[in-house]
Every structure is written in C-alpha cells, then in structure tokens.
C-alpha cells in the first residue's frame, strides 16, 4: 500500500479513501515526472517520511503542519510550466 492510500485510510473517512484513487490516477497519467527535478522528488520523499513519523508518534499538530508544508511545495511544483503533459488538468 502506498503512502497516500495509507494516510487516507488512517483518517477513518471512507469518502477520503474513495476520492484518493481517482486523484492519484489523474496525477499518475498527466504529471510529466521527467520534467520534475530529482531534488524535488527527494523533498517529496522527505515530506512523506516526516508526515508518517509524526502520525506514528501521535503528533497531530506536527503532522498537520508537515502536511500543509508538503501541499504548498506541491502547489508550486504543479504550477511550474512544463510539469503537465498536454497542459494542466482542470
């Protein structure tokens, strides 16, 4: 099971878990992974690890802060020209 599925399931909210797969499918098929610098993927991996560690230790506030930072980083990545095949998804 991947990071995203694990985190969504941990919420206990079935709707989040169900919504995760279609979002993941869009990202997997339209994000041009080769256009993203390896350092960015290293930051994504580090963010995932930090979030998971906070959750495992029961540190809700720290997990939330790490997740917000991760999403802001991703927003910048997703807004970069050339990140998407065929233009950004709507």
Same domain? For 15 and 48 the reply is no
Q: Is residue 87 part of a domain?
A: no
Band (46; pLDDT cuts 50, 70, 90): very high
If asked whether residues 44 and 71 sit together in one domain, one would say yes
Domain that residue 9 falls in: 1-30
Q: Tell me the C-alpha distance between 23 and 65, whole Å.
A: 22
Cβ atoms within 10 Å, residue 61: 8
Residue with tokens 């599925």: 5
Provide the pLDDT for residue 63: 94
51 and 24 in a common domain:
no
Residues 74 and 49 placed together within one structural domain of the fold: yes
Q: What is the pTM of this model?
A: 0.77
Give whole-number Cα distances, 50 to 14, 17, 24, in Å.
24, 21, 20
1 and 22 share a domain? yes
Q: Are residues 67 and 44 in the same domain?
A: yes
- 89 versus 82: which is more confidently predicted? 82
């Amino acid at each position: 099971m991947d990071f995203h599925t694990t985190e969504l399931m941990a919420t206990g909210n079935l709707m989040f878990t169900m919504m995760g797969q279609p979002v993941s499918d869009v990202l997997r098929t339209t994000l041009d992974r080769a256009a993203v610098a390896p350092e960015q993927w290293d930051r994504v991996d580090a963010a995932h690890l930090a979030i998971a560690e906070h959750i495992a230790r029961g540190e809700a506030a720290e997990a939330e802060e790490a997740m917000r930072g991760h999403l802001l980083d991703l927003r910048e990545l997703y807004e970069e020209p050339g990140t998407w095949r065929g233009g950004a998804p709507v």
